[in-house]
Structure 1
Amino acid sequence: MEQHRFLFELERIAKPAYDCVVLTGRLAYHTQLAAEQKLAAAAAAVEHPLVIVDTSGLQFLDSTGLALLVRFFKRVVSAGRAMAIVVRENAMIEKILLIAKLNRLLPIAADEQQVLALAPLSSPGPIEQAVLLEAWQQRRAEGGDGSG
């Protein structure tokens, strides 16, 4: 019946240069148990130094969902990896992420290419979150993109 309203899905895709975690549905209070399990499993399965979370398929994000994203971010960073969020054309989700000031923790980009174009990603080895964020902020200050 109304079960589809509370659906949350996660797909982890290992790309050549990064892991992509694609979120769809609702990341909210009513999906928190399943979402927490799926996000924990995805964090444990990450293979690359960079994780890009694609939120373009999210239909709804509340404060519980934001907390889950922050918890996922902390897991990724504590494992020595860096993370960015991609919003594509999802202006509602981008606005929520910016209101929550997540752009102070990680890049919030329109697409993967904006993240992959950052200089720290071209060097081999681990990527520090602080270095990734600094490169992102510098690119934005130079007018390199119009997002987050």
Structure 2
Amino acid sequence: MKKLFLCVIVLSISIITKSQTTQVEIIDLAVNPGIRADMQSDTTDLIVLFKINNVNIAAKAYYYFGTVQDAGDVLSVTGNIIEQSATYYLQVNGVQKEILGYTATAFIKLSNVQNAGFHYLTVFVEDNNGLITDKLYFHK
């Protein structure tokens, strides 16, 4: 009887946990230096890309540049995922890029101090129900 009760509890927790997981998935984080026409010597442009599945229920993308994982103590940037005429875009710092295939791209400008100060980039997406994806990490 105790084993049955324990089994019911474990299954209940599993069902509750599963129901609070977003269907949005992200993978394959890539960070590359960017070259732009308006380059300033005191800034660094980064091109941040990741692949996203179920973009139709995604709402926001979060970029945390930090000294440790999950921290935005150097810089925090939030992008909006928007839909226009059945096409999805990622808008970050006023720059809107179409999500092509499954690839979302963001251009993020850091000061040289911020670029030198961050060791980790944490990226995750929030869906339109407020649930978040697994986090992706880049270590410099």
- Whose strand proportion is higher, 1 or 2? 2
Do these two structures clear the TM 0.5 threshold for a shared fold by scoring above it? Answer: no
Q: Which has the larger radius of gyration?
A: 2
Larger RCO: 1 or 2 (CA < 8 Å, sep 6+): 2
TM-score of the pair, normalised by structure 1: 0.29
